[in-house]
Structure 1
């Protein structure tokens, strides 16, 4: 059993870069930094054809690094790119529909769980994970307090794993880990300076190895 199996792990959110090859290079280099559980690939403003091109460039290199590639948005793009899963940003109905269509063939999770009521509604669909926060919600150095509190509440009583959006400071990952959440999502904290992305991932993993609480301890 590795050190990462029983503590909060990293989820990366791919940065918004228009050039597919440049984006793939930056993400590929970042993944050399250490353990990453999964990588979410948002559509941002790309049309479906461009998003398809980006997904086909990103998915294989994410998988080669040992992480799960989760496409947010277009389910057809996810299928054609052979992604491991779908990140659903919609409500309970969208999650239920995605689970019925794609689970268990694909990992299906996400949700727009802004409060406990909506979280429990989304949880009724029994997704593979629930996401607290917005994919681009890391506008401050620290993780949003509401999302951390939701993660703490959820992980204390419900078995479905949760991902909590971190802040723009890599150290925010530890605050999320201390909430009991199984995963922390980082975006700007890793990719703000692309040349340092791998080093930041290594530093965050070292921090979590040293200080994150252990599940079942």
Structure 2
């Protein structure tokens, strides 16, 4: 993994539908200004030319802010633009194939849903982070499996990888996930579905600042 990046804090994930009536690049610029530490490009439109153009523009923007750009699902797109990494879910290429294509420096994350055994396998395969969720009802993936917060406690105690929590996360409920062991909060609608993206990100980043100053 590229050790220049610290995998901690707000992990903002784009959504093509939420950007339909505004400019995706402007949205991400606002998220970065609000303190997002990781950006994931997630686009399910099936338009290769659009995806390539947006991903390249986002990579340039993320480089300006020294923030990693992760590509959702698409190993080839990540390789084509030289993105910092890829996030893999069920049905995507396996981690070994992604590592072979992207190299040792790539950041590779794996969705583990509500399955701790999948997280153990990801650690053994040398993933760079794992993600559990959904923890709360999600407007983006309402059908996603429910994950128990005990997974975060267990990951903190038994794993050596940074852990992402995802699914219906808001500034009101995210603090409990950080306290339980989440290193990153992955947010879609709670960031890009808000009228003021920068202010929304600032509310999330404040949760991590509170964790840093709270007594242990």
Common fold by TM > 0.5: yes
- The question of 1:96 aligning with 2:96 is answered yes
Look up the match of 1:111: 111
Structure 1: state its 5+ residue gaps. none
Superposed counterparts of 1:1-217, under 5 Å: 9-17=9-17, 22-34=23-35, 36-90=36-90, 94-133=94-133, 138-139=138-139, 146-193=147-194, 195-210=195-210, 212=211, 217=216
Residue 148 of structure 1 and its aligned partner are, at CA, apart by 2.9
Q: CA deviation at 1:98?
A: 1.5
Q: Structure 1 or 2: larger helix share?
A: 1
For 1:91 and 1:119, locate their aligned partners in 2 and report how far apart those are by CA, in whole Å. 16
Taking structure 1 as reference, are residues 43 and 7 closer, same or farther at Cα in structure 2, changes over 3 Å only?
A: closer
Question: 8 Å contact 1:161–1:182 — kept in the other structure?
Answer: yes
Return closer, same or farther for 1:123/1:81 CA change in 2, 3 Å cut-off: same
For 1:168 and 1:121, the matched residues in 2 are separated by 26
TM-score by length of 2: 0.81
RMSD: 3.2
**How much has 1:70 moved relative to structure 2?**
0.2
The superposition leaves residues 89-144 of structure 1 with CA deviations (integer Å, 9 ceiling, x where unpaired) of 1369712322233241311112344312222222221101111126xx7339xxx8
State TM-score, norm by structure 1.
0.80
Gaps of at least 5 residues in structure 2 are none
